[in-house]
Every structure is written in C-alpha cells, then in structure tokens.
Amino acid sequence: MNNKFLDQLIAIRRKIHRYPELGEREFRTAQFIEKNLRALKIKFRRVGKTGVLASLGQGARCIALRADMDALPLMEKKPLPYASKNRGVMHACGHDAHVAMLLGAAMLLAQKKNLPGVVKFFFQPNEEGSGGAKSLVSAGVMQNPKVQAVVGLHVNPRFPTGKIGLKPGPLMASVDKFTLEIFGQGGHAAYPHEGKDAILIAAEAILALQSIVSRRIDPLEPAVLTIGTMQGGARYNILAEKVTLTGTVRTLSSKTQAQIPRFMRQILQGVTKSHGGKYKLDYQTIGALLANDPKVCALSRQVAARVFGESQIVDLETASMGGEDFSEYLRQAPGCFIYIGTGNKALGTQFPWHHPEFNIDERALIVGSTLLSEVAQEFLTKGTA
C-alpha cells in the first residue's frame, strides 16, 4: 500500500467531511474539487450551480467515472477530530469518500503519459435528492465525446474493509414517491356521526395499501410500499378534515412498477367512497432501476481480481431495495456500480448509511481510487468482450 498516496486521500476526505453541504448547495465542495483538478492540470468546467465535469486524455474510446458529493440533514454524533462544522449537516452516506476516491483516480490517471482514450470525471451534486444525475445528463455530460461506459462506486459498511461487491443485472430498486391527501368533513369529536373523520379513513387506507405487496403482487417479485409521514388534525376534540401522507415504492421490474400506482388508486377509491370521503394521489417516478451491464461488470470484476485478488471479491446474489440515481447514466450507456467495503467493528465503522455515527475505515479509499483508475485504463485499452 502506498502510504503517501493514502495519506493524501485521507486528507481530502477529511476536508470534505468537515464541511458537508446539502444537495445543490455544494459550493465549497465544488471549489475544493476544482482546486485539486487545477493542481493536476486536468481540464474541468462547472455544470449547473455545483456539478463539476473534468476530462483527461484523447482518442476514440470514452469512459466516465462518477462520484456524488452531497451530505445529509443529520447531526453527527461521533466526536471525530474532523467532525462536521456545519451543524445539522453530515456526510452520513460516504459521499465525502466517493469524491476522495474519484480525485485519487484522477491523480493516478494524470500520471499516464498517453491514455488510449478519454476519461470523464463526474462530480455530481444532489444524489440524496435524486435530481443530480438527471441534471448532469440534461446538461450533456454523456456527449462530446459520447460516453461508451460509466462506472461508479459506493462505500458499504456491511462488507469488511477492502472487499469489492459486484453483481451483474439488477442491483438497486427503482424509486417512486407519492403524496396522498385524504379528505373528510370536519366536526365535533363528540359527535363523529355528523362528520367524516379523515384520520379514520387514512388509517383504513394505510392498512389496505399494505395488501398490495402481500396480496396483489407476485410473492416472488420484490416490492416495497412504505408510508413515511402522516399529518392531519388541528385539535384533540375536532374531527380531522384532511390528512396528508407521503411514502415511497421500490421495485425491481418495470412491470411491477407500473402495476402499483394502478392498484393504489383502486384501493383508495374504494376506501374513501365507503366513508363518503375523497382522495388525491400525486405519484412520481424519481429514480429508475439500477441494472449493471453484464459486460462492464465482468470487466470490472476481472480488473478487481487481478489487482486485489479473487479473495477480495464478493459476488452479490441479491439486489437491494435502496435506490441510486446512478441509474440515470445507465439509461444512456452501459456501466457498473460497485460496492467498496468499509466495515470494521474495531474502528467503529460498522454503522449503516444515514446513521449519526456513520464513518468509514479510510484504508478503503486507496482501493476505490485504484479500482476506478484500473477499470478506466482497461476499458480504454481493450473495451468489453
């Protein structure tokens, strides 16, 4: 292990960790990225308010490497010497590490005299808000030159430090979001028969909606329908006139994804009508299914085995119901999303994503940087079989 290089990556990661920024507000992070790219003499430009696109090399082939850069609205609990200085904002999903790894890959690739093609570096804002990747794609980052393959990674505390998780095909679920308004009729809580209790209607609707996954979807087809928030009522002795619910739906197939909002409307129509109420459903698809291209995944696996050894690879058998807007790039070009293990109980880095004590084993940084740079070189030299 190159200790000097690892020290550089750790310093970069800790700098970003100390000053986390929410989606579309990553101004300091973007400036820090640009400062590092300028020092490497790598061409770059700002995309939108905070996105950064850099490129290196020339030639017919082109591969893109991506890192997200936004943080979460969370109070950090670990008393680290580099803990967040922005109160109520924290890098609890490892995006600080992703930026450090991508800058590390840029350092390694910048040392190459004659890259046999172009490497693009996507420093993407607002992954947590599920809008960052779409904004970069809309701004044309996949064109001029046209990206032929795209690779990204994510730290994963569920795997021991340095392990590399790979899976061809579906890896992460599509992400849908909905807002449901239930309308009743207000009245005195002591005389419920004179009104229409929106809370009662909403409660029945919640229970009925859970039957979609358990009774309307093929049990062999993964699906999740979760109500995340419920707001309604003004006072303890007044019947609620309106209740607002928000939630998410996750699926691993386009067929199931299309079925669920239809089933929801059928159920909601029946429940609200039986109580003399009404409903309004705003249903949005905000993230596509993330499915790794088998060829790019195979190439990534071959490189990982060659550089780190077969024993370091975790061949994933099942997909996750979590979502990732890296899927937007995969709608434009074949690619692969890779997990890098960072879990180490001795260091206290076993906490899950979005936890107030989340942290990483920083030795994994060099694994991510090296893997990204080696996969890029392999693709530019040989392509996929």
Residues 3-173+289-382: name the CATH superfamily: Zn peptidases (3.40.630.10)
pLDDT at 129: 85
What would the two tokens of residue 285 be?
């698809």
Integer Cα distance of 35 and 153 in angstroms: 23
Within its chain, how far is the Cα of 115 from the centroid?
Answer: 30
Integer Cα distance of 322 and 256 in angstroms: 16
Give me the DSSP letters along 45-57.
EEETTTEEEEEEE
- CATH class, 178-287 region: alpha beta
pLDDT at 122: 98
Which among 19, 63, 15, 58 has a CA at the least distance from the CA of 36? 15
In sequence order, what are the residues at sequence separation of 6 or more whose Cβ sits closer than 8 angstroms to the Cβ of residue 258?
none
Write out residues in the chain with pLDDT < 50, as ranges: none
What would the two tokens of residue 70 be?
């936004």
pLDDT at 385: 63
pTM of the model: 0.94
**23 near 128, Cβ under 8 Å?**
yes
Q: Which helix (H) or strand (E) holds 343?
A: strand 335-343
| 86-105 pLDDT, tens digit each | 999 999 999 999 999 999 99
Give the domain ranges of the chain. Answer: 3-173+289-382, 178-287
What would the two tokens of residue 188 be?
């005195």
Q: What's the chain's length in residues?
A: 385
10 Å Cβ neighbour count for 231?
11
